[in-house]
Chain A
Amino acid sequence: MAKIRRLRTTKPPPEGWDLIEGTLEEFENKMREAESDTHEGKRRVESIWPIFKIHHQKSRFIYDLYYKRKAISKELYEYCLNQKIADKALIAKWKKQGFENLCCLRCIQVKDTNFGTNCICRVPRDKLEEGKTVVECVHCGCRGCSG
């Protein structure tokens, strides 16, 4: 069992931590596994996709607990953000219309692309050109996170 990495703090975690600790540990284990996974037989871009995926899932878990199910307190939510268990910037995007399911922040970084565009996974499926139905974006392997 890997320990959940926490920033050094004197304060004990807020109430309800025991409830989410198990799931977070599981995510942590998966992340370790993905980090040490072999890259052989994979494309160069493909090897970091699982990292992005687990990172997304972990942030999503905290986001859902606080905003959708309202199962955790504000203190615990903020504690998770401060401890960088959930990605603050990514969650900030999820609150905006049209970005509810955003896969990663790299996919909306227009300055990184040749023509100043978003990633292919940001294109709604019905707006995609014909014959391009199956796509995996090179950044995080997302198959479409916009409609």
Chain B
Amino acid sequence: MAMSKGTSHYNRQVWEDSEFPILCETCLGDNPYLRMMKDKFGSECKICQRPFTTFRWCPGQKMRYKKTEICQTCARAKNVCQTCLLDLVYGLPVQVRDSVLNVKQDMPKNDINREFYNQNLDKAVREADASETWGPYKAQPPSDVLAKLARNSPYYKRNRAHICSFWVKGECKRGEECPYRHEKPTDPDDPLSDQNIKDRYYGSNDPVAEKMLKRIADMPRPIPPEDKSITTVYVGNIGENITEKQLKDHFYQFGEIRSINIVQKQNCAFITYTTRQGAEAAISKSFQKLVINGQKLVIRWGKSQAKRGTVTQEERGVPLEPVPGLPPPDYFNLSAIPSLIQPIIPSTSSSTSGTGIHYPSQDPNRMGSFGLKLPSYNKN
């Protein structure tokens, strides 16, 4: 650095010296007692090409040595691990996270512009609180889609030794002692085998991210029924100990509830809202994420009233007592006549004696009117 510290030339490089690396859990390995080697200005950042302090460590037995690849400014700008360049919160590629959270960070690609940008960024990052995430990722609420895509536990397989290139050629003489893995490499035609660090960082055409985004697109989502009168939410897998109050406590926040109907035998409940908006809000907010009493509840749209009526009748299996004062079902034996659904009207003369008409009101010619499509009318 030839320039004095006092000058504020925009393209003055800042050599980054740091005390501790920014790393994700996976990269650190399973051993909580870790020895690290620190190398001041050990290499250049693979994104901004400025010298930075590298750290090197072994993340556990049979793992390869890992080192930090990008500088802390670049890592904090995107809130990623300095080594694997995956998001620090979810462990997902930048492209996946940014597209789900709808965050856009335009970074200049041009040399001079990038240097100026880096200088400003460096200042902004340094002035920010080191204990929390920086910039656009700070105010983000936890995302359910990302949480679903993320791994539950660290994926230590990523730290394994690389595949022995000699073994692949059939030339490895070290046998058992070889510290590299003697395993078949992945297919070179596989798009996942062509990854690079800059694409991963900038979140553009990253094959891993593309695969994950495809998985998001394939995720099941509730399909609101066509019938707008349906305001019922089906809640399955409720368990035995659930109470109406617990359900109400969760579901009242989305809108006014008309009724809660727990069907203990079917292990499900139906929550009917007074408005459609309430039901829609309830389903979109709690679909595949509602947990009560430690049980994950299945949330679906209720079936239409007519359909559900028949289903419950069949599923119940127990014949109900007929309501006094009402005729028993099929009193008129209407279901035995197949033509009821679509009455076939043969002609005006035979209308009273025809089999298709059972009530006077069903006879279109009763009041002296003629159906346009009647064959006899057309004949006249």
Contact = CB atoms under 8 A, between A and B. Distances in A.
B111 interface: no
B62 interface: yes
Interface stretch (A4-12, A57-65, A81-89, A129-137): A129-137
A38 interface: no
B61 A134 contact: no
A129 B61 contact: yes
A131 B61 contact: yes
A70 B177 CA distance: 40
B106 interface: no
Contacts of B35: 114-115
Contacts of B173: 41
Given A114-B37, A115-B35, A136 B61 contact: no
Nearest to B171: A41
B177 A135 contact: yes
Contact of B62 (A41, A131, A134): A131
Interface string A2-46: 000000000000000000000000000000000000000100000
Contact-size category for B: under 10
Nearest to A136: B177
Interface string B15-51: 0000000000000000000010100000000000000
Secondary structure class of chain A's binding surface, majority of residues: loop
Interface residues of A, number: 10
- Which residue of A131, A134, A135, A136 has the most chain B CB atoms within 10 A of its CB atom? A134
A132 B60 CA distance: 13
Interface string A96-137: 000000000000000000110000000000000111101110
Contacts of A41: 173
A136 B177 CA distance: 8
A110 to B, nearest CB: 14
Contacts of B315: none
B54 to A, nearest CB: 13
Contacts of B177: 134-136
Contacts of B37: 114
B218 interface: no
13 contacts: A41-B173, A114-B35, A114-B37, A115-B35, A129-B61, A130-B61, A131-B61, A131-B62, A132-B61, A134-B176, A134-B177, A135-B177, A136-B177
